Amino acid sequence: MSDEEFLTAYGENKNTVYSVILNYVRNADDASELTQDTFMKLYGYEGEFDSDEHIKAWLIRVAINGCKNFVRSRKHPPGSDVSYEPFSEDKYEFDEIVNKVMALPEKYRIPVHLFYYEEYSIPEIASILGLSEAAVKTRLKRGRDKLRESLRKEDWI
């Protein structure tokens, strides 16, 4: 990948990668480091990409795999979720939607994030996460149900 292609891919996917990692690890510093790692892998990757969408999907998969390895390496009890300190609403003048999504269990929040942030379809999310479409549908529904319970109507996505 040329420097120009890398810069273009970075500009187009920086937030995609950072946001999915942030959703996974729920810590801004760790997300920053893992995002850099992901793009370093892109820079060193010698394979071919068919399209911009291919690059994006590759980056998301690599980012999620990096998160899994990170959580394992951090002496975190397996099977449990990483702790979460909500973003301060004093710092960001946004409604509480991000904090509510980030407070969801991992298996719900990653599909919810990919659905609403990336606007991926259910088959696309299933492909990226290595899940069946039925599993993605179920997780999306349950994630949305949990959000409905905690969000005010005017704050709905």
Partner 1 sequence: MNKYKSAMDTICDNEFAVTGAEMLGIAKSASLQGEIDTVKGVHRGRAAGKVLWIAAACMLVFGTTVSAMGYGPFGEGFRRFFGNDPVTASIIEEGHYGQIGQSVTDGIFTVDFVSVTGDAMYPKLLFDVTVNDEALTSMNSRLRLFAYVMDEDTYRDRRDQYVMWNAYGQKDPDVASLYHVCMDGPGYFLTKDGEVLASIEKISFEFPGYEEIYEYDVDMEYRFSVPDSALKETYIQYYDNMTIPGFHTDYDLYRAEFGAYDSVLVVTYDYIGTELADGRTDFEEVRNLFDSSWQDFSGHFVLSVDGEEYAPLESGWSWCDEEGTFFEPGRCSAWIRFPSIDHGSAESIKLIAGGQEYVLKQEIQ
Site for partner 1, residues 9 to 28, rule: CB under 8 A:
10-11, 14-15, 18-19, 22, 27-28
Q: Pick from 83, 88, 90, 149 the residue near partner 1 by CB under 8 A.
A: 83
Quick note: the x/- pattern for partner 1 over 25-44, rule CB under 8 A, is --xxx-xxx-xxx-xxxxxx
- Is residue 142 close enough to count as binding partner 1 by CB under 8 A? no
Site for partner 1, residues 93 to 112, rule: CB under 8 A:
94-95, 97-98, 101
The closest of 76, 58, 64 to 13, measured between CA atoms, is 58
Tell the smallest beta-carbon distance from residue 148 to partner 1 (Å).
Answer: 14
Contacts with partner 1, residue ranges (CB under 8 A): 3, 6-7, 10-11, 14-15, 18-19, 22, 27-29, 31-33, 35-37, 39-45, 47, 58, 61-62, 65-66, 68-70, 72-80, 83, 85, 87, 92, 94-95, 97-98, 101, 113, 116-117, 155-157
